[in-house]
Structure 1
Amino acid sequence: MFTVERTGDEARVLTYKDDNCVACGICTNVCPTTSLRLGPVVPIARGLIEMDYLSVNSNTCVLCGLCSIACPFDSLSLTLDGEEIKELENYPKWDVESSINEEECMFCGRCYSACPNDAILYERSLPNRNNLVRGEISINEDDCIYCGFCDDICPAGAISVDADIKGDNYSIKLDESKCVYCKLCAKVCPEEAIKAVCTICMEADNIKIPSIKGNVFIVGDDCVYCSWCKEICPVDAVTITKPFEGSLSLVETDEAQCKGDSCHACQDVCPCNAVAIEDNKSVTNSTFCNLCGACVTACPQNIRELKRTSMKLTNINSEAWKDSLNNLIGK
């Protein structure tokens, strides 16, 4: 993380947050004074070097804010007199979105598990199982021979048997909070030491339908718009609008070819988990790729070709900024 400040009639502060940075190089591409520089991206991504992806030459940075506006991932922030320029009316804004409709969400947790950047906060509360599973069970330890059959067959892990023959120590424990009253333990017991009764069927009409509640939220600053959450959601409760449209491809030549398993730099830096190595070649899943360009920056063979056809950056009023920002989409 770094900070560059200027004081005077207008206080300007540029802040870089390395935790949000994906090493895409967008900011270095648009910087009009070439004050920003990416470090050794691949060794940093692999944990071989402890340093930030991005550094700044504070002597040449003019604090124009173009890098802050161009970054779709909020890793750069410029404030004017304490106010974030992205919130000011006359500055460009990214028209991107990542949200989950909690009214449609079933709180299955699949989005939480799939997110490559831990950008989803999720919790789920289940009903008390004792209100749903009912019955009675007892163990007569006078008849028990501690054979362990019940322990081995119990599907819920509700019974545990400890039989230390050499130490002459025997015990059997029942955790009724786990018992589902399936009666398998009673059926398998050779001494009929276990008695169990399931009353679920008899009381079925009195058992309420389970209500599963929860909370789920996408942390915007951490989201890279990869759409894993959207694609994996079984009820279409997620909305993702990516910052760019376009394509990414390998352009190999006789002199430069993908090294696949022996390199995998693209796979190591991809913030979207969109790159895989198949048949010793890099393959990018366009469904999950956000066209950030981190893999292009990292590729030592320079054979990855990124073509952005459009971007969701709007309200670009300055002609000078328009020229710089349009370079991101090849205009």
Structure 2
Amino acid sequence: MNEIVVQTKDNKQVVYLPEKCIGCGTCTMVCPKDTLIIGSVGPVARGLINKEYLDIRDTCITCGMCTKVCPTGALEMREDGKPVCDENFLCSSLAPTTVNDNCVHCGVCEQICPQGAIETRQWLANDGSARIDGETIIDQETCVHCGWCSEVCPTNAITVQKPFEGTWERAEDVCQACRTCVDVCPCNALFNPEWAPGERVDKVAQRPDACIYCGACAVSCPVNAIDVQKTAIVPDMNKKAVFEKKLLNKPSATPVLTSVLVTDEDACLGCGNCVIMCPVNAKSSKDLAAGSLNDLDEKPLLEVRNGTVKVVDQEACGSCGACALICPVSAIWLEKREVE
């Protein structure tokens, strides 16, 4: 597993494990030195940019605050080279997801787990009965405690403890249904509802029973249409009150633009798909969002000039990667932006 050393001081070391990170930015909310920066979560989750969720400044004092609130163990405190795992850490205080003897090893939990953290093994019973024996194995290192397995289990055999309770709200008039939040969510807790002719449905809907209120969706939204607030830290952990002051009933982490849009004018067809698809552009005009490319003289982020796409304002980018996804000739993409 890839490791990035954040800081070392005496016998202590803070280490970032990107493969465990879900891009929620909870760590950035408690860091006293603004060492950790969250941004460009959408294109990272979509595989459109070669970077990690977190960028790291050289200001860490190895206080370990970030390691104590990380819900997945992506930030780790080590002493004398060994991970510190005790009741001072949320990840360690979370009860492991367990399976009891009611399990019939049907495999539904394995199919639905958004992190692929469950494996079921089945074999025919060897006692003459027409039934299935087996085992259900949960990878505690991969599990994000979303609760999908518990919700779909037909025999109530699985117990899950979530890291947070919270609230999730979406501004319907601001949301552009770009699916960035859907693609980013580590729990498959968000989706675009299907609709019948003439039926009005929400652009994005939430599955509360699958949500861990991590805030990754809010961090990734290019138009700030989502608000996630933690209302409780569920597990019992030492000094919980300190972290409750930092995290509870507050907006999710504020993202920093850690990517830059790059275009290839020679490859660009001037089709304007990216201009229409861009959620920042679409938010500025309903006509533009509906495909009326030339009805606006000025666009806030992307526009076609003289037959090729131009980036009007890099700072306006919400870093979702929608433009790169829709471009038919890969003439626009994102690259890592150095953060000061």
Q: TM-score range by the shorter chain?
A: 0.5 to 0.7
Is the 8 Å Cα contact of residues 14 and 62 (structure 2) preserved in structure 1?
A: yes
Partners of 2:16 and 2:89 lie apart in 1 by 19
Matched residue, 2:159: 239
Q: Which residue matches 1:121?
A: 119
Query: How far apart, CA to CA, are the structure 2 residues paired with 1:211 and 1:31?
Result: 53
State the shift of 1:114 in Å. 0.5
**One-letter identity of the residue aligned with 1:6:** T
- 2:32 — aligned with what? 32
| Residue type of the alignment partner of 2:101 | E
Counterparts in 2 of 1:125 and 1:244: CA distance versus 1, 3 Å: same
Shift of 1:273: 0.6
Structure 2 gaps, min length 5: 194-200, 251-340
Rounded Cα–Cα distance in structure 2 between residues aligned with 1:105 and 1:280: 36
Residue 213 of structure 2 corresponds to residue 213 of structure 1: no
Q: Among 96, 102, 105, which residue is 2:103 paired with?
A: 105
The Cα of 1:65 is off from its aligned counterpart by 1.0
How far 1:5 moved relative to its partner? 4.4
Q: How far has the Cα of 1:259 moved from its partner?
A: 0.7
Q: Does 1:330 align with 2:245?
A: no
* Alignment-derived partner of residue 19 in structure 2: 19
Post-superposition offset of 1:235: 0.3
Q: Contact 2:67/2:89 (CA < 8 Å) preserved in 1?
A: no
Which residues of 2 match residues 1-331 of structure 1 at below 5 A?
1-8=3-10, 11-57=11-57, 59-87=58-86, 91-93=88-90, 95-127=93-125, 208-252=128-172, 257-260=174-177, 263-278=178-193, 279=201, 281-317=203-239, 322-330=241-249
Listed one character per residue, the Cα deviations across residues 61-120 of structure 1 (whole Å, up to 9, x for unaligned) are: 111111111001111111112343332x6x344543342334211010000010000111
The separation in 2 between residues aligned to 1:109 and 1:229, in whole angstroms, is: 10
In 1: Cα distance, 2:72 partner to 2:90 partner: 12
Q: Could you tell me which amino acid in structure 2 is paired with residue 4 of structure 1?
A: V
Output the amino acid matched with 1:273: N
Encode CA deviations 1:202-247: one digit per residue, 9 max, x unaligned. Answer: xxxxx92134221212212211111110011000000011111122
Structure 1 counterpart of 2:176, one-letter code? K
Deviations 1:7-36 (A, max 9, x none): 53xx11222111111100101111111001
> 1: CA distance between counterparts of 2:6 and 2:125?
51
Which residue matches 1:184?
none
TM-score (norm 2): 0.65
Q: Determine the C-alpha separation between the residues in 1 that align with 2:69 and 2:19.
A: 17
Larger radius of gyration, structure 1 or 2? 1
Q: Check 1:289–1:107 CA distance in 2 against 1; reply closer, same or farther (3 A cut).
A: same
The answer (yes or no) to whether the contact 1:99–1:217 under 8 Å persists in 2 is no
The answer to whether the 8 A contact 1:97-1:239 is kept is no
The 8 Å contact of residues 39 and 52 in structure 1, kept in 2 or not, is answered as no
Counterpart residue identity of residue 138, structure 2: I
Mapped to 2, the partners of 1:109 and 1:242 lie a distance apart of: 22
More strand by share: 1
Shift of 1:125: 1.7
Give the distance between the partners of 1:103 and 1:324, measured in 2 at CA: 36
What amino acid is aligned across from residue 33 of structure 1 in structure 2? K
1:282 positional shift? 0.8
Instruction: Give the match's secondary structure for 1:125.
Output: strand
Over the aligned positions, Cα root-mean-square deviation in angstroms equals 2.2
Structure 2 SS opposite 1:112: helix
Contact 1:100/1:238 (<8 A) preserved: yes
Partners of 2:9 and 2:242 in 1: CA distance: 28
Tell me the secondary structure at the aligned position of residue 122 of structure 1: strand
Q: Distance in 2 between matches of 1:77 and 1:209?
A: 48
**Alignment partners' CA distance in 1, 2:213 and 2:90:** 18
Contact kept, 8 Å, 1:70 with 1:325, in 2: the verdict is no
Distance in 2, Cα, partners of 1:280 & 1:246: 20
CA contact (8 A) 1:102 1:216 kept: no
SS in 2 for 1:221: coil
> What letter is aligned with 1:34?
D
- The one-letter code of the counterpart of 2:233 is M
- Mark the runs of 5 or more structure 1 residues left unpaired by the alignment: 129-206
The answer for the alignment partner of 2:280 in structure 1 is: none
- CA displacement, residues 275-306 of structure 1 (integer Å, 9 cap, x when unaligned): 11124601111111110100010111212122
Hey, what's the Cα distance between the residues in 2 that align with 1:114 and 1:76? 27
